[in-house]
Chains A and B, each alone.
Chain A
Amino acid sequence: MATPVLRVKNLSTYFHTSQGVVRAVEQVSFSLAPGKTLCLVGESGCGKSVTALSLLRLVEPPGKIVSGEVWLNGRDLLKLASSELRRVRGKEVALVFQDSLTSLNPVLTVGLQLAETVVAHEGLPWKEARRRAAELLYRLGLPEPERLMRSYPFQLSGGMRQRVSLAMALLLRPRVLVADEPTTALDVTVQAQILAELKRLQRELGMALLLITHDLGVVAAMADEVAVMYAGSIVECGPVTEVFERPAHPYTRALLRSVPRPGEELVPIEGQPPSLLGLPDDRCPFLPRCPEAREECRKRRPELLKVAPGQLVACHYPYMARDEG
């Protein structure tokens, strides 16, 4: 594997609330090679979005990054001074959020919100920055860029807004794009279009993509690698073909079975995801829902270990080992 452009090591983000400590992200590690796509999947509330925000240090109190390293181009973002961090944000790592209606400022024009990024990072005059933004909108295949730039977010359709958000993130050709459920709020046809555009742009710019989603269809279409998150931790990761064909963690297996297919019965995962508040760390977090749970699972939290080339699993009894043993 090529030298990773982004390497995250033992990242933990906790929320200190009045009821106790919520361990939203616990010891998360992964790396991302240039031009590749890593999909972070899992149920709502499993810590995917907090992981994304933590990468850029955008977690707000009571949330706090308690440990870890985020290496980008040989620098640990978690140790940068805020002025240096500001120069990295948007320029080297960009972020796209799920809901473009709330992520675009309602009282500023699209053009201003696009151009200000260029002005902030490259110090260009506004006119020049606006021209750059219009060019990119044109390249993205958006009709009438000039008119679009004069509009406000509420005047655009959901798909159009998300394209604008995407353009905003790509304006400075970042090396890494973090996209948090970028197509979840859109209908299926628009979703497919935007994913296709994203893929094309990724190839053009040689950009690494960290795509956060709960949609396994999106993972299948986009991912090179996949990391499955459960209760704040990664429970399984590896190349998407391996993980999808030979899922080793009971949760991954259950997740794959819960995808609706024509003519097949839908198998939901029994039980609820655990509360991250005061989660015991002396046992497997998936224990209450695991059909395969045994004595060992009650005693010790499993670590993320290699089960096949590139494939890591946090389970005392991973599926493959069971089959072969």
Chain B
Amino acid sequence: MLGYLLKRLLYLVPVMLGVSLITFLLINLAPGDPAGLILRSGGVEPTREAVEALREELGLNDPLYLQYGRWLWRVLHGDWGRSFRTGRPVVEELLSRFPATLELALAATLFMLCLALPLGILSALYRHAWLDHLSRLGALLGASLPGFWLGLVLIYLFAVKLRVLPVMGRGGLEHLVLPAVTLGFGLAAVYARILRAGMLDALGQDYIKVARAKGLPEKWVIGRHALKNALLPVVTLLGLSFGHLLGGVVIVETIFAWPGVGKFAVDSIFNRDYPVIQGYALFMSVVFVLVNLVVDLSYVLLDPRIRLGKGS
């Protein structure tokens, strides 16, 4: 287990280097001269000399690898630059908004699991029954309905018409419901189908026949013998889906005016706040990679064949 963990951590080094390189190039490939951009952010057209002076000062005339090295060094020391817009350090801006995003993502995941687990299990057990068809329809809708549309419909129904939930903003639990449902619904529908497939696969295995032949109660056969095997593919995919979740968060936060990093990033894009966009990309990559690490580790806990090394 410890060896596996160390190996996984070691793999992270090249991944993170690649991520940093891409993020760095992002700003260099973007049209326009960063020096010009910085000077223009004050609203005044700068002189050629001023731009040249700033380029020299920022080291923009040095070769690219030197710039990258210098940038990486600063990033590693927590200096991610300052927002053009607010003038505050990017790290501070991101970290102060991250709890809101995390709260939303966790709530969406929770909602997703609460819907997907029972629906997936039941539609496998009652295959081709009405619940199964309903979940199939749900998966189709969930996969094809765009998040912004669902969000707006939910706002219209529950906040405008029924007036049971707030329209936007962050506050108590009631503020969390609509954005979390908007964010989690699509994934829930898809995961219910994945779990159903996993359950059907597991239920067809010999060990299920054996479990029944042993006279175990049906809830043990399903819950212990089938579900644990069926969860393996679900957990693997959870890591991948987290990317969708982070992407979706940007839209959902914007619709619901949720004060998280996603909304901040969108605002920054509209304002060409390059250091923040760069910082956001880097930050989200780190989060994504770390979440995948956690998912992989939980996979190890679920599957003894990986934990103990096959054939040992």
Which residue numbers of A lie inside 8 Å of B, CB to CB?
53, 56, 58, 86-91, 94-95, 97, 99, 102-109, 116-117, 120-121, 152, 154-155, 165, 168
The binding surface of chain B is classed by DSSP as helix
Q: Report how far A94 CA is from B213 CA in the complex, Å.
A: 7
Q: Are B206 and A117 in contact (CB under 8 A)?
A: no
Q: Are A116 and B205 in contact (CB under 8 A)?
A: no
B residues near A121, Cβ cutoff 8 Å = 215
Q: Report how far A305 CA is from B138 CA in the complex, Å.
A: 59
B266 on interface, CB distance cutoff 8 Å: no
Q: Which residue of A lies closest to B211 (CB)?
A: A105
**Most chain A beta-carbon neighbours within 10 Å: one of B207, B216, B220, B305:** B207
Q: Which residue of B lies closest to A165 (CB)?
A: B210
Q: Are A90 and B215 in contact (CB under 8 A)?
A: yes
Q: Report how far A95 CA is from B214 CA in the complex, Å.
A: 8
- Given A53-B209, A89-B214, is A154 in contact with B220 using a C-beta cutoff of 8 Å? no
Q: Report how far A107 CA is from B208 CA in the complex, Å.
A: 13
Q: Are B214 and A120 in contact (CB under 8 A)?
A: yes
Give the 7 A-B residue pairs with the shortest CB-CB distance, closest first: A90-B215, A89-B215, A90-B214, A95-B213, A102-B206, A105-B207, A103-B206
Q: Are B215 and A88 in contact (CB under 8 A)?
A: yes
How far is the CB of A244 from the nearest CB of chain B, in Å? 31
B310's contact among A95, A99, A154, A165, by CB below 8 Å, is which?
A154
B residues near A94, Cβ cutoff 8 Å = 213-214
Q: Which residue of A lies closest to B127 (CB)?
A: A61
A residues near B216, Cβ cutoff 8 Å = 86, 90, 116-117, 120
Q: Which residue of B lies closest to A171 (CB)?
A: B214
How far is the CB of B205 from the nearest CB of chain A, in Å? 6
Q: Which residue of A lies closest to B214 (CB)?
A: A90
B residues near A117, Cβ cutoff 8 Å = 214-216
B residues near A105, Cβ cutoff 8 Å = 207, 211, 225, 228-229
A residues near B211, Cβ cutoff 8 Å = 105
Q: Are A86 and B215 in contact (CB under 8 A)?
A: yes
Size range of the interface on B? Answer: 20 to 34
B residues near A106, Cβ cutoff 8 Å = 207, 229, 304-305
9 additional A-B pairs beyond A105-B228, A108-B224, A168-B210, beta carbons within 8 Å, are A56-B212, A103-B207, A104-B207, A107-B228, A107-B303, A116-B214, A155-B312, A165-B210, A168-B214
Q: Report how far A152 CA is from B304 CA in the complex, Å.
A: 7
B154 on interface, CB distance cutoff 8 Å: no
Q: Report how far A90 CA is from B211 CA in the complex, Å.
A: 9
- Given A58-B209, A97-B206, A105-B225, is A155 in contact with B308 using a C-beta cutoff of 8 Å? yes
Q: Which residue of B lies closest to A82 (CB)?
A: B218
Contact with A along B255-276 (1 / 0, CB 8 A): 0000000000000000000000
B residues near A102, Cβ cutoff 8 Å = 205-207
Within 8 A of A (CB), among B206-255: 206-207, 209-218, 220, 224-225, 228-229, 232
A residues near B212, Cβ cutoff 8 Å = 56, 58, 89
- Given A102-B205, A102-B207, is A89 in contact with B213 using a C-beta cutoff of 8 Å? yes
Q: Report how far A58 CA is from B204 CA in the complex, Å.
A: 12
Within 8 A of A (CB), among B140-162: none
- Given A117-B216, A154-B310, is A95 in contact with B210 using a C-beta cutoff of 8 Å? yes
Q: Which residue of A lies closest to B302 (CB)?
A: A107
Q: Report how far A106 CA is from B211 CA in the complex, Å.
A: 13
B63 on interface, CB distance cutoff 8 Å: no
How far is the CB of A189 from the nearest CB of chain B, in Å? 21
**Most chain A beta-carbon neighbours within 10 Å: one of B214, B232, B304:** B214
How far is the CB of B230 from the nearest CB of chain A, in Å? 10
B14 on interface, CB distance cutoff 8 Å: no
B residues near A56, Cβ cutoff 8 Å = 212-213
Q: Which residue of A lies closest to B312 (CB)?
A: A155
B171 on interface, CB distance cutoff 8 Å: no
- Given A97-B210, A103-B210, A105-B207, is A116 in contact with B215 using a C-beta cutoff of 8 Å? no
**Most chain B beta-carbon neighbours within 10 Å: one of A91, A107, A152, A168:** A107
How far is the CB of B91 from the nearest CB of chain A, in Å? 42
Q: Report how far A95 CA is from B207 CA in the complex, Å.
A: 12
Q: Which residue of A lies closest to B225 (CB)?
A: A105
**Most chain A beta-carbon neighbours within 10 Å: one of B224, B302, B312:** B224
A residues near B213, Cβ cutoff 8 Å = 56, 58, 89-90, 94-95
B172 on interface, CB distance cutoff 8 Å: no
Q: Report how far A108 CA is from B213 CA in the complex, Å.
A: 17
